[in-house]
Amino acid sequence: MSNDSNNHLPLYAQVENVIIGRISNGSLPPGTRLPSEDSLVQEYAVSRTTIRAAMQSLVQRGLVEIRRGKGTFVTHPKITQELTELTGFVEDMQALGRQATAKVLDQQVVAANQVVARQLALPQGAPVVRIQRVRLADGMPLSFDETYLPKELGEKVMADNLKTEPIFSLLERKYNTPLVEAEYRLEAVCADATVARALCIGVGSAIFLIERTSYSIEHRPVDYEKLHYRGDQIRFVTRLARRTPVLRKGGARK
């Protein structure tokens, strides 16, 4: 670690730079578990406090993540997902060359609260099916999804194997419910205890919350979702067209 270019840096930053170099040259590929804290203390001949400071900085940079009870791992590069058309998680991950899987946490009939009722055009308190899943990309928890469906349709979907069957595919291919369009609402939030536990991250971590209402023919809402994406693992991009400017008489823009 006695690199001349690093000598002016604090010890923790020197350790950090060495680990960053190993990540960059591929000797620590994504998904690799870093050595234990004790091993790093011995390897770099520094204090435990120095190692912890280096790890904290790497976490803040998004280069490693701490998985409770498992250790510290090199993160995968951020997933870049385009918001240009209505697609499901499995379709999105397949397009990126990632393997999509799901873990079903809960599925039951609940009373629609005010928000769910409004989005599904139902009376407040009407029975709806709520499905909670963790969506994984290459085995890494990426999104915690809450899906709400009208009761009759949702009870059919609950009978399927949601670990392998995407809900969008079931609606369209099995239950004759074509999806025509959707409304997206995206905001930045902090992970609460439920989301943090599902995604194996700390409470308060940055989350993209997408509320998506999907519509079938005749603008009938059939699927309302709250999608909680890990902010350290994904970015969303879109392409926007410029609205044609309104011109005044004589050709001047308003």
- Domain membership of residue 91 (yes or no) is yes
- Domain membership of residue 28 (yes or no) is yes
- The answer on 14 and 31 residing in a single domain is yes
- The answer on 110 and 60 residing in a single domain is no
- The answer on 130 and 43 residing in a single domain is no
Q: Tell me which of 13, 45, 74 is where a domain ends.
A: 74
Structure tokens at 14: 């020197």
Pick the residue with more confidence: 10 or 118?
Answer: 118
Report the domain count for the chain.
Answer: 2
Q: Tell me which of 22, 52, 74 is where a domain ends.
A: 74
pLDDT tens readout for residues 197-248: 999 888 999 999 999 999 999 999 999 999 999 998 888 888 778 877 766 6
- The answer on 172 and 227 residing in a single domain is yes
- The answer on 158 and 54 residing in a single domain is no
Q: How far is CA 6 from CA 10, 40, 175, in A?
A: 8, 18, 62
- The answer on 176 and 68 residing in a single domain is no
- Domain membership of residue 249 (yes or no) is no
- The answer on 215 and 145 residing in a single domain is yes
Which CATH number do you get for residue 64? 1.10.10.10
pLDDT tens readout for residues 121-179: 999 999 999 999 999 988 889 999 999 999 999 999 999 999 889 999 999 999 999 99
- Domain membership of residue 90 (yes or no) is yes
Q: What's the pLDDT score for residue 80?
A: 78
Determine the structural domain holding residue 118 and report its residue range: 79-237
- How far is it, in rounded angstroms, from Cα 131 to Cα 155? 10
- Domain membership of residue 196 (yes or no) is yes
pTM for this structure? 0.69
Which CATH number do you get for residue 199? 3.40.1410.10
pLDDT tens readout for residues 3-44: 555 567 889 999 999 998 888 888 998 889 999 999 999 999
- Domain membership of residue 247 (yes or no) is no
Q: Tell me which of 43, 74, 105 is where a domain ends.
A: 74
- Domain membership of residue 245 (yes or no) is no
Buried b (16+ CB within 10 A) or exposed e, 172-197: eeeeebebeebeeeeeeeebeeebbe
Q: For the chain, report the end-to-end CA distance as a whole number of angstroms.
A: 62
- Domain membership of residue 185 (yes or no) is yes
- The answer on 218 and 99 residing in a single domain is yes
